[in-house]
Chain A
Amino acid sequence: MDYGRERNTGDTEPLTPAVKISRRAMVAGMVATTAVVFLPLSNSAFAKTSDQDMMAFLLLSSALTGVDIKTLAPEFSPGSGDILSADPGTDPIDIKSDYFRQVNAHGTAASFAKLLQIAKDNRLSKDNIIVKVNASDDDTKFLARSIVLLWYLGSWYEPGDLKNAAASPESVHAPIKQRVLSAKAYTQGLVWQIVGAHPMGYSNLQFGYWSREPRDPNSPLDLFSPAKL
């Protein structure tokens, strides 16, 4: 078993619990978020082009969020060839498809296409993706930030609002308006796990865990790591 695939590779900082995001936590989301309808990937879910775009979206998202693709898309399998031809997979929660739809349907499609192209062109280097995104036009760059916030918080921030606020950060005296995409999106927010916690109101942990430092009970690697014995 390759537990390492669930980890956010390349990050050795002790204070980055992002590496411990558990797959089971994600799957469990389905149980707690009631009244959520799970739609198939998209109308053209199995079309090759759509899968390629989804893979590009995952490459882009992974680079920008700093979170491993396997966490963003738990059923992802890399295959042996070009990463763009890999299978993004369809897990029961499938939050990636909700986010893809949100970004693609939002009047930001042109900028989104540019972002996907950046990811395709730089699919071998996350660092290059970040460099190219930062060098993009404002519409594209701020859409990239909206995408990160979506993954982190499950909330949609308008790229235009982000741009206005970033232009004069010292004069921001009220937080930017945001909309929680869905109950499911809230419970899948990544920032909680990045800081070693869980979404408020959505814990899969056990009584008394708060007396100890975070350690993911669903990660055998963590429990049985030689370093801990």
Chain B
Amino acid sequence: MADNSITCDVAIVGSGFAGSFIANELSRKGIKVVILEAGPDVQPNFNAYMKSFYEASSKVPESPYPPAVRDFKDKNFINPKNVAAGRPSSLTVGGAAWKDPGQAYLDQSTSKRPFKSTYERIAGGTAHWMGLTPRLVPNDFRMKTMYGKDQSGFVDWPIDYNTIEPFYQKAEAELGVAAYVDEQRFCGIEFSGNYQYPMPRIPPSLFDQRVGEALAHLGEGETQFLGMGRSVTSLAVRSLPSARNSQPYRNRRACAGNTNCIPICPIQAKYDPTITLNEATNNGARLFHHRVASQILIENGRVSGITFITYDREDGPKTGSGIIKAGVYVIAANGIETPRLLLMSKNKGQTPNGVANSSDMVGRNLMDHPQYLTWGLLPQPVFPYRGPLVTSAIGELCDGPFRAQRAAFRVSLGNEGWTTVVGGGARFGADPNVTTLDFVNGMNFSGVNTKGLTGLGGNNRALFGHDLTKTLGNLISRQFRIAFPIEQNPDPNNRVTLSSALDALGLQRPKINYDISDYTKQGFATAFLLKKLIFSKLGATDFTSVPQDDPAAFKIDGTPELFTYGGAGHVMGTYRMGNDSKTSVVDGWQRSHDHTNLYLVGSGTFPTVGTANPTLTLSALALRTVEDIVKNFPSLRS
């Protein structure tokens, strides 16, 4: 019974990055913190997750983690109505499944295009992140002022780069970021004081080095299409700041290049939030798992409690319910589950549009970084499938006067060959399986089993023995992929609402409506031109293609090229921050405009998203929120 009526100083829903950071900082100050986690507890070790990953026939980002997506025969998708704390899966974003709430957790039945990103609901949150931690650049915080046009929907953040900079430094210490400051000064990024990153940078892969050489000298005319407003005669390939140990850091060992940051680093050289979460619980924070928050209660304009449902098994059912009461409440349940909880909280009609939603902005402006994925073969080997998945990128194209017309992007260089791209991507097994199968079985699903490429005297050759090892060694060692994560502008019609489809606890599942704008598509168009330039400088053969059944496929007016996008896993924008309570949900401290003792944290507060991976920024914002909580609620520390 005690567990079903919890009292504490600060109640946090969700134990991912933001929730764990806040829990740890507050509990360090002696404040009594309780975290409700919808999924299972922190595991004593990764063995069970690793086993699930190794055995998965589709090694998609969520493959190591519970709950199961397919039934025991690995044949059908489990109906999400029979899952207590479900989550989206990359396995259901293509083909026929994506619009079917009987197979896919997110109800996208009325969506124009699929929202392809996924997330976990386990203690520690999204463990399957890439570990990349670039900062937003100063102009990312003032898009309306710098580039805003009515149709782009851009707004300014209520805070600027200089405000967040000290918190970037704190977050980089907690995450353990490897980078060199001198290499990261571009597009206005500066570092206050005598700042140095906690660790030396992650060294570049052979492919990074190859691209750097190829783009070191460019003709001015070759790069004019970028619209940088300045002459571009070279493109720098820079090591990407990463929460990945380049040396032992806080009891975790250095990266051994398992080439598996997503889905899971087997040696925890990549930071994940269980590290901070464990520290928080050591400091006295209490974590209650298998507890799904179901309603935020409002009394006299303030949050008076949060109800939750308990369950034991993945497939439910509900085993009980309870309530948590605190002085301050923090919802840290990510860009889809947080608005879902706010919208579910109707308080018997007192808050008919949900909690914290007087602006009607809760759930709106859902954004991702749609990824333009390209892949090819180099003339010489670069030996992919080695090192972290990504070690370097071209960052300096992410800001410039072109942003008044088209979306910005970064250029991320992959070290994982064709594993996420060929043959419809990881949901089908991808490479090395696809190419291997082609040459064992005389097929050409990869596109490389042709006379011209192999010199084998025919297409669709089936090989045994040394011919097989020689051919695969030759072709696979020359694979590469380049991804262009592209900025998405806010659109209030890209939206999380509540579905009539339920989960196994009887709660309404998230319903998504999503599309990408012409502004974003124009970013793809420029990325396409840059891809052509890079491939040509590398002497590479292009194998980029769009799967036949891809519901995201699109064309851009005036070009014959067929495009598609991948999800970046960056769920952003759905409870945005701003100074005006009529057009935003939280203020610059991530405190609800409507309810003074409610904070909403995570990348859902980003009013615009730039092109940087969001985790570092949301972590820095969470640390800043801690200061506001302590300042506004001095009685908590008594």
Binding site for B on A (CB under 8 A): 8, 10-11, 13, 15-18, 32-35, 63-67, 126-127, 130, 133-134, 144-145, 148-149, 152-153, 155, 157, 162, 165-166, 169-170, 172-180, 182-184, 186-187, 191-192, 194-198, 200-214
Contacts and interface: CB of A to CB of B under 8 A. Distances in A.
Contacts of B473: 13, 15-18, 194-196
Contact of B436 (A144, A152, A180): A152
A197 B472 contact: no
B464 A63 contact: yes
Given A186-B55, A197-B386, A198-B386, 6 more contacts: A32-B50, A178-B57, A178-B433, A200-B259, A207-B254, A208-B257
- Chain A CB count within 10 A is highest, among B259, B465, B477, for B465
A5 B265 CA distance: 33
> 8 closest pairs, A vs B, by CB?
A210-B387, A197-B385, A183-B54, A201-B260, A66-B469, A34-B47, A195-B476, A169-B443
Contacts of B247: 207
Interface stretch (B201-209, B350-358, B483-491, B559-567): B201-209
The CB with the most chain B CB atoms within 10 A, among A35, A178, A191, is that of A191
B109 interface: no
Contacts of A126: 465
Contacts of A203: 256-259
Given A11-B466, A179-B57, A210 B434 contact: no
A32 B266 contact: yes
Interface in B526-547: none
Sorting the interface of chain B by its residue count into under 10, 10 to 19, 20 to 34 or 35 or more gives 35 or more
B74 interface: yes
Nearest to A131: B464
B120 interface: no
A133 B442 CA distance: 15
Interface in B283-315: none
Given A148-B440, A191-B432, A192-B385, A66 B203 contact: no
14 contacts: A13-B470, A33-B54, A152-B440, A155-B57, A155-B429, A166-B442, A166-B443, A170-B444, A182-B54, A186-B55, A202-B266, A203-B258, A207-B247, A208-B257
A191 B50 contact: no
Interface string B454-475: 0000001010111111101110
B415 interface: yes
A205 B253 CA distance: 13
Contacts of A66: 464-470
Interface of B: 47-48, 50-51, 53-57, 59, 74, 203-206, 209, 246-247, 254-260, 263-264, 266, 381, 383-388, 391, 415-416, 419, 423-424, 428-429, 432-434, 436-437, 440-445, 460, 462, 464-470, 472-474, 476-477, 548
A209 B246 CA distance: 12
Given A149-B436, A205-B256, A213 B206 contact: yes
B259 A198 contact: yes
B331 to A, nearest CB: 33
B429 A175 contact: yes
Contacts of A64: 464-465
A155 B206 CA distance: 29
A196 B477 contact: yes
Contact of A67 (B391, B440, B469, B548): B469
Contact of B424 (A18, A175, A213): A175
Given A155-B57, A175-B424, A197 B466 contact: no
A127 B464 CA distance: 10
Contact of A35 (B47, B203, B255, B474): B47
Contacts of B383: 195-197, 213-214
A134 B463 CA distance: 10
B161 to A, nearest CB: 32
A202 B55 CA distance: 13
A15 B477 contact: yes
B462 A207 contact: no
A11 B255 CA distance: 33
A209 B442 contact: no
